[in-house]
Amino acid sequence: VCSSDLQRREPDQVKILSGVFEGVTTGTSIGLLIENTDQRSQDYSAIKDVFRPGHADYTYEQKYGLRDYRGGGRSSARETAMRVAAGAIAKK
């Protein structure tokens, strides 16, 4: 299984759940949500014992001693997308 075989095409629409009113931050915690509309954990069973080339699975396991091969975790695209969304808010 190649890492490109597992890529999803999702809209990455960010929903602001809290902390913003009429386009202005309120000073409270900002809650953001990007729904994972194409999640299929079973697709990852083929890589249970194999690390994907160019993916952070290996380095993450080496650093934290944890690997969730089902596609979740701190090195997932969903996590990266959320960091980008938070950075966009911080930049404004």
pLDDT 10s digits, 9-65: 666 788 999 999 998 999 999 999 888 777 676 777 778 888 878 788 888 889 988
Contact between 78 and 50 under an 8 Å Cβ cutoff? The reply is: no
Within 1-92, residue ranges assigned H as helices are 57-64, 77-91
Total-model pTM: 0.60
Question: What's the pLDDT band for 2 if we cut at 50, 70, 90?
Answer: very low
Domain residue extents for the chain: 3-91
Q: Which of 15, 10, 3, 82 is nearest to 39 (CA)?
A: 10
Residues 6+ apart with CB under 8 A from 82: 32, 34
With DSSP H G I counted as helix, E B as strand and the rest as coil, what are the percentages for the chain, rounded to 5?
A: 35, 15, 50
